[in-house]
Structure 1
Amino acid sequence: MRISTQAASQAALSDLMRAQREAYDARQQLASGKKAPDLKGYANSAETIIAAKAAQKRSESFVGANERVLNRLEIQDLAYQELSTAATDLRTALTTNDGSFMMDKVQEVFDRASAALNMRFNGSFVFGGRRTDAVPFTADTIADLQAAVPDVSATFQNAADRQTTKIEETITIDVNATASEVGTELMASIERIADFNAGPDGPFDGQITENQQAFLETELANIISAFDTINVAMAENGARQKQLEGSITGHEKRSDYLEIMVAGIEDADMAEAATRFQQAQTAVQVSAQTFSRLSQISLLNYL
């Protein structure tokens, strides 16, 4: 009788401990919302969780980096608009019959174009290519263009290579064209106009002469070419903006999908956890009462 009672007590104690453990696990799930407190609790799914979270972090990193680049492209677009407008204004100035204020307009175009070519974003020159810490266009005046040796190309100090950025694991794009790529033609035209103005057929003052008209008609073709170069680069910048927007959307969707996938593995069913907790609590009470009664049984009760 005594041996049987001891075995029953041990069984009741085991039931009590199991019920307490189940109650604790259920309570932890209710508190954390997770099925397990650490990766060990997910067994074979642990590797999937680790890989998914790493991929999600990479996607979130790409989103942040691409958004910064997209902000820069918006600044670049403003610079391209300024350059395009400057080229348009110069072309308009060369079609007049009165040259009285032509060089004033040329000076204005130079100033606007210079500022655009040296535009910055977060302290970096956007037209500097890989060299973002140095002024890409160094001429301060039209006279500097005229004095440049061997030509105006000497006033461009940007890097030869464009700056690039990685927007996907396997996709790298150019961030922008360089100052020399988009500005050389326009600045060369300004330099030729200034040279002509200072030459034997100048200056442009009052009614345009035949020689001046012939020169301006030739130079108009160069300005149109400069305008086209700027607008092509501006279109490329717009295409990069669209590409980046698509990349950001893709990374955000990928991150959301991975978050849902991980949640499907990690997150506890709160309704189920609450039910199990109530059942476990009941089991703890019953097991405790059973163990308590068995612990009090003695042969003396039967003598």
Structure 2
Amino acid sequence: MRVSTAATWSNALNNLMKSQERQNKANDQVSTQKVATDLMGYGRSSEIIAAYQASASRINSYVAVNKSVAERLNSQDLALTTTSDAAANGKESIMNALASNSGASLMETMQGAFSIALQGLNMEHHGQYMFGGGNDNKDPVTVATLSELAATNIDDVFANGNVKKSSRIDASTTLQTGFLASDLGRDMMQLFKDIQEFNNGPDGPFGTQLTDAQKTFLTEKSTQFSAVYDELVEQTSLNGTLQKRVETSQAALEGQASSLNELIGSRTEADMAKAYSNLQQAQVSVQASAQVLADLQSSSLLNLLR
């Protein structure tokens, strides 16, 4: 019977350790579905993978920005539509008064239109005023009623800042997406103010029967409300153009991110069929190596001398 030597023991132990390493690697691939658990495990491909991952991370950050901008523009569309509705309601109130030759309910309906304008111009998005221009400490429009408006200088009606929100939607494109309450609402607020002051003045108030002076005044204001409405619709259309631009950008970025993920996956994702096969082979190899060590132990010189 051959007696095992130190060299034989060392060789058998080394084989066992290598088998265990192969088993651990195969087990990691099966559990993670990745070729390796860190970049070092990818050898020469590690630098390429790192570059792909950096690009994917950068693109995903732009995707997140685009989603945030898209949400804001959706809310902004509602605010702009609400503001333009106020101008339309203001004109409609005047037209109804002219059609019926009565201003008995004109100021009440005009206050309703004014309140709608406040809803649009003071609308918030995630706790920030949509048209605040960077000033979130105060409503962009500071008056709450037509009476307050009539008593306030038009320059003091607005408390918004001057910063129009801009967003960088990709590596080379920055869009100005913000509007200011003063830019959007000044002309309309002036119309509401004019009507309230006229109602308070010598040719007012508007009563059950309109005077010739009142008809002339209201006809002029109706035309001006139309112009304000058209301008607000144009701003709403511009917002829609920005929405489309962001939507297109987001789709392109998501396509790039998908392509990069596929490239990363082609280099990092394990061949699961091969991984399972390697694991089975490694397990058999470990068992065989362990058996060799057990056989060596049983044939050691010490056991023979007993």
User: Which TM-score band (shorter chain)?
Assistant: 0.7 to 0.9
| Contact kept? 1:124, 1:133, Cα under 8 Å | no
Match of 2:126 in 1: 122
Answer yes or no: is 1:195 the counterpart of 2:194.
no
| Contact kept? 1:27, 1:277, Cα under 8 Å | yes
Structure 1: any 5+ residue segments left out of the alignment? Answer: 299-303
Q: Secondary structure at the match of 2:179?
A: coil
Match of 2:59 in 1: 59
Which stretch shows the higher mean deviation, 166-175 or 12-21? 12-21
How far apart, CA to CA, are the structure 1 residues paired with 2:145 and 2:294? 99
Structure 2: any 5+ residue segments left out of the alignment? Answer: 302-306
Change (3 A) 1:11 1:157: same
Q: Which amino acid aligns with 2:146?
A: I
| Contact kept? 1:86, 1:112, Cα under 8 Å | yes
What is the 5 A alignment of 1:206-285?
206-284=208-286
How far apart, CA to CA, are the structure 2 residues paired with 1:76 and 1:128? 12
How far apart, CA to CA, are the structure 2 residues paired with 1:290 and 1:161? 78
Cα displacement string for residues 19-68 of structure 1 (whole angstroms, at most 9, x for unaligned residues): 44333322332232221222111122222222322333333333334333
How far apart, CA to CA, are the structure 1 residues paired with 2:126 and 2:61? 19
Deviation at 1:249, TM superposition (A): 2.7
Match of 2:304 in 1: none
Q: Percent identity?
A: 34
| Contact kept? 2:86, 2:116, Cα under 8 Å | yes
| Contact kept? 1:165, 1:172, Cα under 8 Å | yes
Answer yes or no: is 1:146 the counterpart of 2:132.
no
| Contact kept? 1:87, 1:226, Cα under 8 Å | yes
Match of 2:34 in 1: 34
Match of 2:108 in 1: 104
Match of 1:301 in 2: none
Change (3 A) 1:30 1:185: same
Q: Which amino acid aligns with 1:132?
A: D
Which stretch shows the higher mean deviation, 220-229 or 9-18? 9-18
Deviation at 1:283, TM superposition (A): 4.3
Cα displacement string for residues 170-228 of structure 1 (whole angstroms, at most 9, x for unaligned residues): 22222331111111111111111122222222222122222222222222221111111
Change (3 A) 1:203 1:39: same
Q: Which amino acid aligns with 2:123?
A: M
Match of 2:188 in 1: 186
Q: Which amino acid aligns with 2:219?
A: E
Change (3 A) 1:6 1:202: closer
How far apart, CA to CA, are the structure 1 residues paired with 2:202 and 2:45? 85
Match of 1:82 in 2: 82
Instruction: Give TM-score, length-normalised by structure 1.
Output: 0.84
Deviation at 1:136, TM superposition (A): 0.8
| Contact kept? 2:83, 2:119, Cα under 8 Å | no
Which stretch shows the higher mean deviation, 59-68 or 83-92? 59-68
Q: Secondary structure at the match of 2:235?
A: helix
Q: Which amino acid aligns with 1:213?
A: K
How far apart, CA to CA, are the structure 1 residues paired with 2:214 and 2:79? 31
- Equivalenced residue count is 296
Deviation at 1:271, TM superposition (A): 0.9
Q: Secondary structure at the match of 2:103?
A: coil
Change (3 A) 1:14 1:218: same
Instruction: Give TM-score, length-normalised by structure 2.
Output: 0.83
Q: Secondary structure at the match of 2:141?
A: coil
CA RMSD of aligned residues (A): 2.9
| Contact kept? 2:85, 2:116, Cα under 8 Å | no
Deviation at 1:288, TM superposition (A): 5.9
Which stretch shows the higher mean deviation, 50-59 or 234-243? 50-59
Q: Secondary structure at the match of 2:63?
A: helix
Deviation at 1:117, TM superposition (A): 1.0
| Contact kept? 1:164, 1:175, Cα under 8 Å | yes
How far apart, CA to CA, are the structure 2 residues paired with 1:137 and 1:128? 9
Deviation at 1:128, TM superposition (A): 0.6
Match of 2:70 in 1: 70
Deviation at 1:254, TM superposition (A): 2.7
| Contact kept? 1:125, 1:133, Cα under 8 Å | no
Match of 1:21 in 2: 21
Q: Which amino acid aligns with 1:76?
A: Q
Deviation at 1:103, TM superposition (A): 1.4
| Contact kept? 1:201, 1:212, Cα under 8 Å | yes
Cα displacement string for residues 239-277 of structure 1 (whole angstroms, at most 9, x for unaligned residues): 222222233333333333222222221121111122223
Change (3 A) 1:171 1:286: same
Change (3 A) 1:101 1:290: closer
